Amino acid sequence: MPTALVTGASAGLGRALAAALVRRKWTVIGDGRDAAALASAAGEAGFTAVPGDVTDPAHRAALADACPELDLLVNNAGALGVSPLPPLARYPMADLENVYRVNVFAPLALTQLLLPALIAARGVVIDISSDAAVEAYEGWGGYGSAKAALDQVTAVLGVEHPDLSVYAIDPGDLRTAMHQRAFPGEDISDRPLPETAVPAFLRVLAERPPSGRYRAADLLSALAPAATLDGGAARPESS
């Protein structure tokens, strides 16, 4: 039975991915900062909960201890930053540092700890990206630049470890709490639910394409109309 670690598994895309993997007979470990929400998600989906903050070295060590064998690491936990989204000219540096700490440094630090197990299994690393990493949207300079940095970390890791499958995947515009924080006061009920992006991740796991950056919409283009996958949106997403 393969083993996966999914960070940020208490809600949104992380919860949907963890649940889908459990249904496919994976052993899944999930983490999250909200212990109560994580316990609820774990009880419903059937994964093992290890609550904590991925920016905490002690918590990352606990995750590594929980995964002596590992086939898949999904670095999904993320931070949007200040809401409403400020322009870069007024972005508080302390908040920007935290965005990078959560979205770039913590995933890399966790990956470093888990590389021996992943290499032994010839496993998969998936880092969650965003179109804000490649498009210049007003107000998205903090989150977008952090995701761009994560994309590059992912790309280099794939080159340095050709025996692993290493992916940055942009899940698309989803109806999540983070996305709502990006657009406070707006109705985002027309955004697709996180579950709609899950088949793209399962396809990657099944087909193991070359390491690189992928869009969920492209991965699913043969399975569903583009309009359904995009949710009719033409603005940045956050997972």
Q: What Rg value do the Cα atoms of the chain yield, rounded? A: 17
Determine whether 143 is an active site residue: yes
CA atoms within 13 A on the CB side of 22: 20
| Structure tokens that stand for 183 in this block | 């657009």
Query: Residue ranges of the alpha helices (H) in 24-140?
Result: 35-45, 57-66, 93-100, 106-120
How far apart are alpha carbons 130 and 215 in whole angstroms? 9
CB 179 within 8 A of CB 237: yes
Active-site residue, from 91, 143, 167, 214: 143
- DSSP calls for 10-34: TSHHHHHHHHHHHHTT-EEEE--S-
Of 216, 109, 212, residue with least CA distance to 164? 212
Catalytic residues: 143
